[in-house]
């Protein structure tokens, strides 16, 4: 499907590795989406530095996951229970998605992409499903992932929008919004802990799965003098990840020292918060990313529009 800039603020071209790429351009900024994986690789508000981190060594090749941006995780998070050889984070992030519609409303543009079960997905996970993913570029970036059970039996799943945020220096940032929350510490034998601190500082490898968390997170980035705000609904899990220096050195698709410039704050339903859908049921998870002024600037008021009911129906 091809679009002309004269007709719509979206262009679909062939990008690196021969992968189809949609480029969105509005008065508010620019974004890029790789149709493999429905993977948002870039978002840059007008006049600002990019909000999403993308590794200089990211693999752009058919069937390969992309390091950075916003990978779509489905139908399991991390390693699949009982199937250690299954692809990490499921198959949605490496499957080709179909571009369904492009809609424009004022200064906002929305891409809708679809993924359905096929012979390849059924070999990994036997269930039938439909994923509908709406990517809206306006003054914010809104990502809405809808999961529909199109099979004749119920099934459980996990999902996530594995957002890589670009930060000036991860050791200088703080993450607010998780005080008092319980988390699974994947760097400490999956032990269950509680965050007693008012805000999280990244001082070493960090891999925390916060369960029962439905509120806003704010990443205060003093180097870039800005706050990155993540609002969500339909999500009960927040994952915070940074590999740290030692682990990053063993990641082949991450450039030298790049671990300092990324922080994943992921909107998810995983672990205790995995979901179950009956035949015909649906669930929508939405993440909205916004940029506000840093502590040295006057704060920007961010308004959250009402979301759909947080149910699995």
For the chain, the structural domain boundaries read: 10-171+212-293
CA dihedral (232, 233, 234, 239) in degrees, to 10, reads 30
Return the percentage of the chain with pLDDT > 70, whole number.
Answer: 91
Residue 307's pLDDT band, with cuts at 50, 70 and 90, is very low
Select the CATH number that applies to the domain covering 10-171+212-293 from these four: 3.90.1640.10, 3.20.20.80, 1.20.58.1000, 2.70.98.10: 2.70.98.10
Task: Report CA 187 to chain centroid distance, whole Å.
Answer: 21
Give the pLDDT confidence of 196-238 residue by residue, as tens digits: 999 999 999 999 999 999 999 999 999 999 999 999 999 999 9
Residue 305's pLDDT band, with cuts at 50, 70 and 90, is very low
Average pLDDT over residues 177-191: 98
**C-alpha to C-alpha distance for 207 and 209, rounded to whole angstroms:** 7
Residue 302's pLDDT band, with cuts at 50, 70 and 90, is very low
Buried b (16+ CB within 10 A) or exposed e, 36-57: bbbbbbbbbbeeeeebbbbbee
Give the pLDDT confidence of 272-296 residue by residue, as tens digits: 999 999 999 999 999 999 999 865 4
**C-alpha to C-alpha distance for 136 and 110, rounded to whole angstroms:** 4
Give the pLDDT confidence of 42-72 residue by residue, as tens digits: 999 999 999 999 999 999 999 999 999 999 9
Give the pLDDT confidence of 113-169 residue by residue, as tens digits: 999 999 999 999 999 999 999 999 999 999 999 999 999 999 999 999 999 999 999
Judged by DSSP in three states, 92 sits in helix
Is-contact 24 33, C-beta < 8 A? yes
**C-alpha to C-alpha distance for 313 and 305, rounded to whole angstroms:** 20
Q: Where are the alpha helices (DSSP H) in 46-158?
A: 119-124
Give the pLDDT confidence of 63-110 residue by residue, as tens digits: 999 999 999 999 999 999 889 889 999 999 999 999 999 999 999 999
Residues identified as active-site: 162, 266
Confidence (pTM): 0.92
């Amino acid at each position: 499907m091809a679009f002309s800039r004269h007709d719509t603020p979206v262009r679909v071209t062939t990008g690196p590795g021969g992968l189809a790429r949609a480029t969105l351009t509005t008065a508010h900024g620019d974004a890029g989406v790789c149709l493999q994986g429905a993977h948002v690789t870039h978002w840059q508000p007008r006049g600002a530095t990019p909000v999403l981190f993308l590794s200089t060594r990211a693999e752009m090749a058919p069937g390969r996951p992309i390091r950075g941006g916003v990978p779509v995780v489905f139908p399991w998070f991390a390693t699949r229970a009982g199937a250690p050889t299954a692809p990490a984070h499921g198959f949605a992030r490496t499957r080709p998605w179909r571009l369904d519609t492009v809609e424009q409303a004022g200064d906002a543009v929305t891409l809708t992409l679809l993924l359905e079960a096929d012979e390849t997905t059924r070999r990994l996970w036997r269930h039938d499903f439909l994923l509908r993913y709406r990517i809206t570029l306006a003054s914010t970036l809104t990502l809405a992932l809808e999961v529909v059970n199109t099979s004749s039996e119920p099934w459980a799943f996990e999902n996530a929008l594995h957002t890589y945020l670009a930060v000036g220096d991860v050791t200088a940032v703080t993450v607010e919004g998780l005080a008092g929350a319980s988390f699974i510490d994947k760097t400490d034998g999956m032990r269950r802990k509680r965050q007693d601190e008012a805000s999280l500082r990244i001082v070493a490898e960090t891999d925390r799965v916060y369960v029962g968390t439905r509120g806003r997170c704010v990443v205060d980035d003093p180097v870039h003098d800005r706050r990155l705000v993540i609002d969500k609904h339909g999500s009960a899990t927040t994952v915070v990840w940074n590999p740290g220096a030692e682990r990053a050195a063993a990641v082949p698709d991450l450039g030298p020292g790049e671990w300092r410039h990324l922080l994943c704050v992921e909107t998810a339903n995983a672990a205790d918060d995995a979901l179950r859908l009956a035949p015909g049921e649906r669930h929508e998870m939405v993440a909205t990313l916004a940029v506000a002024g840093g502590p040295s600037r006057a704060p920007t008021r961010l308004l959250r529009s009402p979301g759909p009911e947080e149910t699995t129906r």
